[in-house]
Amino acid sequence: MSAVRMRGLEVELGGKRALGPLDLELEERDWVLVVGPSGCGKTTLLRALAGLVAPSRGTLELGGRVASRDGKLLLAPERRGIGMVFQGAGAGLWPHLSGRATLDFVLGCAGVARGERARRAAELLELVGLRGLDERRPGELSGGEAQRLALARALATGPKLLLLDEPLGALDLPLRAALAERLAELHRRLGPTIVQVTHDPGEVAAHAQRTLALEAGVLRSDTRTRP
């Protein structure tokens, strides 16, 4: 079964077509890079997958379930089995919540029992290398640490599809390399399908299997780089 299937998918923003039409299938466990110039529709693609924007036309299926069809969202974002890391170091984190509290809140919203949440949060913080920093708020973390917390939050509900919008772009070179290796380890251990927007495909080229190049919202090339 495909992780993602699109048929004639289009997204309009402000009365103009921002993406598509796209006919595309992504395989389970693949790590897919999305590249192209600014404004070409990369982030719009992620937002359509996440259910944060409704496609204007076409069909989107996620794991065999119809998520949207002809302008209607049929699966709410919280029912899509998706985790998302937004662009910018630690973007989207709640500034008043510590790492532990952030994960406790996300797990609680997902229906995890209170007694189980502390254990799961500790496991996630260990997984992303933040053990011992669980009581720090985003403003008390470095850029790399905040981005790892954002990754832990995205992984908290065990998503089958992980959407990453320039997750390394706001970090300096050593931190990029370290987080890229961390992502590769998580991909090997947990096996989600990853769709990653990047301006620098070389930063994870050794790990990704496929590269999609967008231009003006249209898919210009689709290259499989690894089995």
Q: What are the tens digits of pLDDT across the range 162-191?
A: 999 988 876 777 777 888 888 898 899 889
Q: Looking at the predicted structure, is the pLDDT value of residue 85 above 80?
A: yes
Q: Would you say 125 and 131 are in contact if contact means Cβ atoms under 8 Å apart?
A: yes
Q: Looking at the predicted structure, is the pLDDT value of residue 25 above 70?
A: yes
Helix or strand or coil: residue 115? helix
Q: Looking at the predicted structure, is the pLDDT value of residue 210 above 90?
A: yes
Q: What is the mean pLDDT of the chain?
A: 91
Would you list the domain boundaries of the chain?
Answer: 2-81+159-224, 95-157
Q: pLDDT tens-digit profile of 37-51?
A: 999 999 999 999 999
pLDDT at 89: 64
Percent of the chain at pLDDT above 90?
Answer: 65
Q: Looking at the predicted structure, is the pLDDT value of residue 64 above 80?
A: yes
Q: pLDDT tens-digit profile of 90-145?
A: 778 999 999 999 999 999 988 899 889 999 999 999 888 888 998 999 999 988 88
State the Cα torsion 9-14-17-20 to the nearest 10°: -30
Q: How many angstroms from the chain centroid is the CA of residue 16?
A: 25
pLDDT at 147: 87
Give the C-alpha separation, 106 to 35, whole Å. Answer: 30
pLDDT at 88: 72
How would CATH label the architecture of 2-81+159-224?
3-Layer(aba) Sandwich (3.40)
